Amino acid sequence: MRVLIKRRVIAAAVVAGLCGSAADAATTITVAAFPALDAAVKAAIPLYKKLHPDVEIKLVSLAYADHHVAMTTSLATGANLPDVMAVEVGFIGKFAESGGLEDLGKPPYNAAQFKDKFARFTVPQATGPNGSLAAIPADIGPGTLLYRKDLMDKAGVTEADLTKSWESYIESGKKLKAATGAYLVASAADIKDIYIRSGLKDGEGVYFDKAGKSVVDTPRFVKAFELAKAAHTAGVDGKISAWSNEWSEGFKRGQIGTQMMGAWLAGHLQTWLAPNTKGAWRAAQLPAGAFASWGGSFYAIPTKAANKTEAWEFIKFLTLDKKMQIESFRKLDAFPALIEAQNDPFIDQPIDVLGGQKARQLWKVAAEKIPAIDVDKYDSIAQEIVNAELEKVIEQNKDIPKALADAKALIERRARRR
Amino acid sequence: MEAPMSIDRSGAAAPAKSRRRLQPWEWAPYVFISPFFILFLCFGLFPLLFSVWLSFHSWDAATGLGGMTWVGIENYEFVLGDEWFHKSLFNTFWLAIASGLPQHLVAIPLAFFAHTYLAKYRNTVVGIYFLPFITSSVAIALVFNSLFSRDFGIVNVVLTSIGNFEVAGLHPLSWLFPTTNIDWGQPQYTKPMIAFVVFWRYVGWNTVLYLSALQTIPHDLYEAATIDGASRRQQFWYITLPLLKPMMFLAVTMTIIGNLQLFEEPFIITSGTGGLDQAGKTAAMHMYNTAFVDSDFGTASAVAWVLFMLIALLTVVNNKIFSQKD
């Protein structure tokens, strides 16, 4: 009997507790994100709660790769879907084509009206093949050339030498190698990766044309392969892959003279890659007038999400609220996709790791010029195949046209279900 | 007291017997055993059958269950004719032999040595050999990546310092050892490196298996052999090895199955890509990448079932080899 009473008391307490919390917050929305984007969400929660005290926000954060595997599984099964889903640019093409995300261009969202508010290359990235807008951009990674000013000075190389043309860039590398022993680029593939993205017009894809045909045997790729091979023949590439031990060690020991990547790399250099080289770096636009983007995050709403209205309100707050975008720009150095936020005075702040250079002004210019490239769900497969063929060209002296023809055949085989 | 009564009630007619109410002692065992079957149905049998079903479909998981389209045996045709799958199979067999064979060739003598010569320290020694088996794979990846780092790894430091060893202005060892840093990321080194890590990780496990089998061999056999004047080597050859055969069968079967499903070590060593030229990409990795990188779950299921048939076939062959000589 006693046990029974006890049980009833507990049950009553539990029910009361549930009712109580339900009364406090009418809805709880779940946000799924990955680092470092989750920090932006974390920063947004208290600000959002001031405006909407009735909404609870639950943040679920997983490592980058795990997050996207988990989201794929959730979309597949329709279970455990968050209300707000963060998507990195590497997966946006796949997710946008899947049909598992709300078309934010349509009512009740009508996000198409905000298109011009964002960096111009971002919206096409989130647009599916049928014109649906699957996600709203949050932050971007304008591409930049970071170089070691001290090493270049020693070698008598100027910034103009590096950025004038690709030939002059590689030539500078020879001087750099001779004077300091440092490599110009970590990997020759970096040169190829920029070159295949340069000179693209809005609506063109890197690996595929509008009809979904692979374009990897075009002169753009031939030239990119030739440049990469020339860099390797000149001995200015370190054959170091990004994010490896050698890479960070190479930065720390001053063995890598330049690195082309998203502007956010400056922050990584300062915090963990090579804090000892603080002040020695400078930023420039990419060589030969190329503009490209690295990374970038989006927020989407799954079609089967439970609280779409609240989710949309929160996404609008994260992406369209100037104050919020400036907040994450200032605190997390996440380059805002919202153009209004790019005009914040923070853009004129000197950057320590770049020796006080006001490089964000430079990146803003880059963000305007990056072409609105069309993304394809087979881009990652194409990239893998092209990289493998470049490796054969560099290491085994494979003929370039042959390598690209092989790449094309492999890509079309794997993209068989277009 | 109730049991005889129920018999009474049922009488002689068989149909009446089946209609009677089940008694608790009759259904209770099924309730007690049901958790296993429920879990097995949900997490074992259902995924298994679903993947068979899936292997006949084209499915990008992100599109949800509605996105499945029937394609018949197209997935199997694609997989069997796929260059990447062939390569990953070749890598798998290469690694299975290069890492599996030495495991047993080292583990059997090692277990014999530990069993015969080590008395006091046997458990400590075997424990040390067993340690890699229970080490976290992330830690293994970190350790091996720093050991085999091209510019800063200790392996290259040791090799090049031997290669550059100088006596009177000559480098007598430079023909055998490298004088400049080796790039271990190159395709020709990827497989040996993975094979070494797998060998290092599982040799202790096999040693423990063989040691436990050795401990079941009766001592009087050895005593009798010693009286008959058999040497230690003869004892090993004519007593230990034949009596180890059942355990060898078990251990080799497990190695075959494990090595054909090899995933974790190559995955972490090549950070999921399979390395340059896919030199370290195993069939299981190919399956994973097809599903989760290429989002082609149908083809990935077909890879899984082709792999399953291969493993089943090899297990049968293994079974035949070991049962023949009996």
Q: Which two tokens stand for residue A94?
A: 């796949």
A349-362: pLDDT as tens digits: 999 999 999 999 99
Whole-number pLDDT of residue A401: 95
Whole-number pLDDT of residue B205: 94
Contact predicate A169/A152, CB 8 Å: no
- Give me the residue label for tokens 């499903």: B261
Whole-number pLDDT of residue B18: 58
Task: Compute the nearest-CA separation of B73 from chain A (Å).
Answer: 15
Confidence of residue A29 (pLDDT cuts 50, 70, 90): very high
Give B63's contacts in chain A (Cβ within 8 Å): 75-76, 98-100
Smallest Cβ–Cβ distance between B62 and the set A76, A246, A395 belongs to: A76
Whole-number pLDDT of residue B324: 67
Give A98's contacts in chain B (Cβ within 8 Å): 60, 62-64, 67
Give B299's contacts in chain A (Cβ within 8 Å): none
Q: Which of A179-188, A402-411, B260-269 has the lowest mean pLDDT?
A: B260-269
Whole-number pLDDT of residue A222: 96
Q: Which two tokens stand for residue B238?
A: 């004519």
Alpha carbon distance B291, B59 (integer Å) = 10
- Name the residue ranges covered by the structural domains of chain A: 29-141+295-348, 143-292+364-414
- The b-or-e profile of B158-173 (16+ CB within 10 A means b, else e) is ebbeebeeeeeeeeee
- The b-or-e profile of A27-54 (16+ CB within 10 A means b, else e) is bebbbbbbebbbebbbbbeeebeeebee
Alpha carbon distance A325, A104 (integer Å) = 20
Alpha carbon distance A245, A408 (integer Å) = 32
Q: Which of B58, B70, B87, B294 to mutate to test the interface with A (most CBs of A within 10 A)?
A: B294
Residue A214, SS3 per DSSP:
strand
Give B278's contacts in chain A (Cβ within 8 Å): 388
A-chain residue closest to B63, CA distance: A98
Give B152's contacts in chain A (Cβ within 8 Å): 245-246, 249
Smallest Cβ–Cβ distance between A249 and the set B67, B152, B277 belongs to: B152
Whole-number pLDDT of residue B292: 83
Alpha carbon distance B164, B171 (integer Å) = 6
Torsion of CA B66, A104, A67, A45, to 10 degrees: -140
Q: Which of A31-35, A365-369, B9-13 has the lowest mean pLDDT?
A: B9-13
Q: How many helices (H) and strands (E) does chain B have?
A: 16, 2
Whole-number pLDDT of residue A389: 93
- CB neighbours of residue B7 within 10 Å: 11
User: Looking at the predicted complex, does its ipTM rise above 0.90?
Assistant: no
CATH superfamily name and code, A143-292+364-414: Periplasmic binding protein-like II (3.40.190.10)
B-chain residue closest to A79, CA distance: B64
- Name the residue ranges covered by the structural domains of chain B: 2-46, 82-148+184-324
Smallest Cβ–Cβ distance between B150 and the set A99, A246, A392 belongs to: A246
The fraction of chain A above a pLDDT of 90, given in percent, is: 62
Give A69's contacts in chain B (Cβ within 8 Å): 292
Smallest Cβ–Cβ distance between A72 and the set B152, B277, B292 belongs to: B292
Q: What is chain B's pLDDT, residue by residue, as a tens digit (326 residues)?
A: 344 444 444 444 445 555 678 888 888 999 999 999 999 999 999 999 999 999 999 988 777 777 888 999 999 999 999 989 999 999 999 999 999 999 999 999 999 889 888 878 888 999 999 999 999 888 888 888 888 888 888 988 998 888 888 777 777 777 778 888 888 888 888 899 999 999 999 999 999 999 999 999 998 998 999 999 998 889 888 988 899 988 998 999 899 889 988 998 899 888 888 888 888 999 999 999 998 888 889 999 999 999 999 989 988 998 888 776 55
Does A36 score more than 60 pLDDT? yes
A58-99: pLDDT as tens digits: 999 999 888 998 998 898 888 889 999 999 988 888 888 878
Task: Compute the nearest-CA separation of A6 from chain B (Å).
Answer: 29
Alpha carbon distance B303, B288 (integer Å) = 10
Whole-number pLDDT of residue A351: 92
Whole-number pLDDT of residue B8: 46
A369-383: pLDDT as tens digits: 999 888 888 888 899
Q: Torsions phi, psi of A333, nearest 5?
A: 60, 30
Give A391's contacts in chain B (Cβ within 8 Å): 276-277
- CB neighbours of residue A210 within 10 Å: 10
Domain A29-141+295-348 indexed as CATH 3.40.640.10: no
The residue that leads in pLDDT, B233 or A151, is A151
DSSP conformation letters of A56-120:
EEEEEE--HHHHHHHHHHHHHHT-S--SEEEEEHHHHHHHHHHS-B--TTSTTT-GGGGGGGB-T
Q: Which two tokens stand for residue B185?
A: 């990321």
Whole-number pLDDT of residue A212: 85
Alpha carbon distance B270, B280 (integer Å) = 7
Whole-number pLDDT of residue A310: 92
Domain B82-148+184-324 indexed as CATH 1.10.3720.10: yes
CA Rg value for chain B: 28
Does A3 score more than 50 pLDDT? no
Task: Compute the nearest-CA separation of A1 from chain B (Å).
Answer: 26
Instruction: Flag if B277 and A391 touch (Cβ within 8 Å).
Output: yes
Whole-number pLDDT of residue A359: 93
- Rounded mean pLDDT of A387-415? 92
Give B185's contacts in chain A (Cβ within 8 Å): 241
* Listed residue (A116, A51, B317) closest to A124, CA to CA: A116
- Rounded mean pLDDT of A282-293? 93
Give A90's contacts in chain B (Cβ within 8 Å): none
Residue A415, SS3 per DSSP:
coil
A202-231: pLDDT as tens digits: 888 899 998 889 999 999 999 999 999 999
Whole-number pLDDT of residue A241: 85
Instruction: Flag if B277 and A75 touch (Cβ within 8 Å).
Output: no
- Rounded mean pLDDT of A108-115? 90
CA distances from A336 to A57, A111, A118, A296 (A): 22, 18, 9, 9
Smallest Cβ–Cβ distance between B61 and the set A76, A391, A414 belongs to: A76
Task: Compute the nearest-CA separation of A313 from chain B (Å).
Answer: 24
A230-256: pLDDT as tens digits: 999 999 999 888 888 889 889 999 999
Alpha carbon distance B293, A22 (integer Å) = 40
- Please name the amino acid found at residue B19: R
Whole-number pLDDT of residue A125: 87
Instruction: Flag if A417 and B292 touch (Cβ within 8 Å).
Output: no
| Average pLDDT over chain A, rounded to an integer | 88
Interface of B with A (CB under 8 A): 58, 60-65, 67, 78, 82-83, 145-146, 149-152, 183, 185-186, 272-273, 276-278, 292-297
Q: Torsions phi, psi of A236, nearest 5?
A: -100, 0
Smallest Cβ–Cβ distance between A100 and the set B63, B151, B278 belongs to: B63
